[in-house]
Structure 1
């Protein structure tokens, strides 16, 4: 088990400026002076067993892929399908082990699909022409403008300060802020934006890292709020855009911005309600002094000053973009709106090209191109149909239980790889399995995307969990105890929503 990083006062924190009342000022990461690199506690922990497991998985993946590719053709499978299956298995192992960056594995998938004859090189490279790839790029640029202008910081602080009456009310407010912000920007960006606030509050309250029950509640509220909120729209999770792109490629079906928000509404609302309840059950209530934390929040709000013109411009453009996504859906592609909005951010002076350095997750974008290419190859070559028929052909269950099985499988897979990679692996097989049992493609897509985002039990399973774990206030056992409970409750809520809510709104019938 890896140890969380030790939390101590850094030179930057010691030299924090004083505000007008002489209280320690609030420093965001971009505002802090450079610090000397310190050895991460985890680097001193022996990792031999992990390295051996990784090596064995990679060797197995390479050997199994070569065996599949070189073996005689089985009945009912073409050479192209066999090649697609081999590449799919290899890339799955690479995404699980993370030996290569996920984006490089995506590029490798495209190269091997063309080289092995699964699809033509032109078809493999055409995956990068999918609108989902450009939608994600546009969203990253828009999120960068929100952060650079300071609008996201201003909104977060002004919203949070209203919850400063007591520590547990503040934790709930942090969870709500995280969930709401994730409707408009990626979950990892939201968590990174709010993390300094939570950390400064914990430091002001003198909470003991890894020991304080309130510290665990505080940082899990931050992470879980972002994770639940990421299901609310296309903007909160890149896996949603990937799932939509794969749905359109496989079936020519589109889901609008408003349809997605409506489909996810009960899942998000009920998730927000149960988070404080599960945290209350999991960790004893701690009597802590919130006075110092309240001063930190008030200082941060004071230092904001008045709203600035760049923030007004970015906010207005963001509202216009959301309006277009909702009311122009079906007439204008979502990716086109995202790219026009991203371009407008430069036109109004909100961004310069250098502002995007470090804020565009190129590895995610490259992975998406490879994932979509893999999905297309598995579908066109009949490989997905062959695998499902051979492995699951004798299963006879209702469409609802098919959806439940796919959601749970996506959840399990996402505990060992990124959420988006889990969608890339599971959705092609899910489409085939679901259709075989009469489940609608839209229901399969939603169940896979939502299921892959309900992985609360491990710190490595999602970016918000990883960021919260890095605080040092949460131990691995805390994730397993509270996260497992949250995962089980969330998957039950999702299946209830699929059975009752989706047919009610006319999106899809789930028998």
Structure 2
């Protein structure tokens, strides 16, 4: 089967999935443990079909991923799933603007030359061993996500990784390297792993804590949250590093002369100039504002996209960024990808399809063994967060899960921390998190390769969840069952 035949096959497969759901007879309602029934409307049924179509087209890249996103909006309007006004309004959601702001910051970072300074200095420290280079990149990525949103971290790290890859060199036939695949996929994965370590790592973390307080009346402090999840996040970072070394073993064990080359290239940059200082100060102020939003009540009403977009505006006003950068260097394919992801996420949410899926799944676990129940909850969140906003995955799943947990005698804390950890690590699809899509922009891997790598990576974090449940968490006083 040649490439064009495969493409046509998957186009038709996506369409078949959509029309099968769209034309299917009405499904039975989902019933939660309290007896409340959730009907699936025709619009909800069609939303699930569209969700399958988009997933197939994205994974197998039958068309540019941004074009598949446009199809999401078109199908919603064409088949009366949602009005066009609603479907396309989500394309400019503040979350998409946050991603655009992150990309502008990353671009300014690169144009000013700061990324090369950081890359060369890091290579000088870690040396010439490719395994240590990968580990150094993953550790820096994870550390930054403790205080910055992982989208901003990915935008900051991306140009640094490009500089490192240039020093590594391409394969003789010009194709992407295994080192490049490990470098960029690992950056995406460890950005997710690091983001679960503190409440500042992503909006899903405070959202989960908020739901937990609403259902149990217990507040979770910043320190308690980190005490439970920071070890989980950091163990994941090292396990991902080991896994990627197996799957994508670098072609070169060492890069002879890399340290000297990095030092020489760093020396060529000369002293830090005024433009670098200006960019650094602006980015520092923007990131400080993001951190302060979690602490100062008056700033919480300001959308998190504003500081990054304001920084981008300053870069254009100061001529650091130009119209050519806007037209040619911003990856609009990635921006459109997330526009479509927001649209399908809200579509599943507003039509009730996501809630129906969650209740159907959780209802099957009511009489299960407590460990099967916990893994079932976490697996559901893990899958859902690859397709819809992680905050939405938490909002849909956690309330129902906490009710069933009480019924089964499972400690609600275990549900809170297990679900939050899974929501931070969508390792299967590019739309699961902005760092995934940004890593794809490197052109070092395909969506299929990312998906296949994500299967063992997702299995690893589920196994780690079981390990934490029986070892570390009981040691710090969190038992699996209510005493």
TM-score after normalising by structure 1: 0.65
Identify which of 86, 90, 98 aligns with 2:46.
86
Query: For residues 257-272 of structure 1, what are the structure 2 equivalents within 5 Å?
Result: 265-272=230-237
Does structure 2 retain, via aligned residues, the 8 Å contact 1:160–1:170? Answer: yes
Report the counterpart of residue 393 of structure 1 in structure 2.
Answer: 363
Uncovered stretches (5+) of structure 1, i.e. residues with no partner: 1-44
1:137 pairs with 2:107 = no
Out of 124, 131, 136, the position equivalent to 1:173 is 136
Q: Could you tell me which of 402, 420, 423 is aligned with 1:446?
A: 420
Report the CA distance shift for 1:139/1:394 in structure 2 as closer, same or farther (over 3 A).
same
- Which aligned pairs between 1:173-322 and structure 2 lie closer than 5 A? 173-180=136-143, 185=152, 187=154, 190-191=157-158, 193-202=160-169, 216=178, 220-221=182-183, 223-233=185-195, 265-278=230-243, 290-322=255-287
Tell me the CA shift for residue 93 of structure 1.
1.7
Q: For the structure 1 residues 92 and 195, does the alpha-carbon distance in structure 2 shift closer, same or farther, using more than 3 Å as the test?
A: same
CA distance in 2, matches of 1:501, 1:129: 42
Q: Secondary structure at the match of 2:424?
A: helix
Deviations 1:354-398 (A, max 9, x none): 43333253213412430342243144xxx4444445565242247
Q: Where does residue 15 of structure 2 map in the other structure?
A: 59
Q: CA deviation at 1:67?
A: 1.0
**Residue 58 of structure 1 aligns to a residue in which SS?**
helix
Contact 2:165 2:180 in 1 (8 A): yes
Match of 2:321 among 351, 354, 362: 351
C-alpha contact 2:72 2:343 (8 A) present in aligned 1: yes
Whether the 8 Å contact between 1:247 and 1:442 is mirrored in structure 2 is yes
Which has the larger displacement, 462-471 or 216-225? 462-471
1:90 deviates by: 1.7
SS of residue matched to 1:291? coil
Counterpart-to-counterpart distance in 2, 1:508 and 1:107: 47
| 1:374 is aligned to 2:347 | yes
1:163 maps onto 2:151 in alignment: no
Deviation at 1:160, TM superposition (A): 2.0
Cα distance, 1:225 vs. partner?
A: 3.9
Equivalent residues of 2:18, 2:50 under 8 A apart: yes
Distance 1:337 1:56, change over 3 A: closer
For the residues of structure 2 that align with 1:55 and 1:385, how far apart are their CA atoms?
28
- How much does 1:81 deviate? 2.4
Q: What residue number does 1:336 align with?
A: 303
Structure 1 contact 149–311 (Cα < 8 Å) conserved = yes
- 2:229 and 2:210 map into 1 onto residues whose CA distance is 22
**Secondary structure of 1:437's match?**
helix
Instruction: Establish whether residue 489 from structure 1 lines up as the match of residue 452 from structure 2.
Output: no
1: distance between equivalents of 2:65 and 2:250?
40
* In the alignment, structure 1 residue 46 sits paired with structure 2 residue 19: no
Quick check: 1:384–1:429 contact (8 Å CA) kept in 2?
yes
Contact 2:102 2:155 in 1 (8 A): no
Deviations 1:163-194 (A, max 9, x none): 22545444433443455567563537734541
Relative to structure 1, the CA distance from residue 316 to residue 63 in structure 2 (aligned partners, 3 Å threshold; closer, same or farther) is: same
Alignment-derived partner of residue 55 in structure 2: 95
Query: Aligned pairs, how many?
Result: 440
Question: Contact 1:411/1:451 (CA < 8 Å) preserved in 2?
Answer: yes
Single out whichever of 426-435 and 57-66 deviates more from structure 2: 426-435
Answer whether contact 1:103 1:362 (CA < 8 A) is retained. yes
Distance 1:79 1:101, change over 3 A: farther
Q: Which runs of 5+ in 2 are unaligned?
A: 31-36, 406-411
1-side partners of 2:281 and 2:28: how far apart? Answer: 58
Counterpart in 1 of 2:408? none
- 1:327 aligned onto 2:292: yes
Contact 2:394 2:419 in 1 (8 A): yes
Show the counterpart of 1:146: 109
In 2, Cα distance between equivalents of 1:283 and 1:128 = 35
Q: Please, which moves more after superposition, 188-197 or 314-323? A: 188-197
- 1:437 aligned to 404, 410, 430, which one? 404
Q: Tell me by how many angstroms 1:221 deviates.
A: 4.6
Q: Matches of 1:249 and 1:127 in 2, distance apart? A: 25
Cα distance in structure 1, aligned partners of 2:39 and 2:249: 59
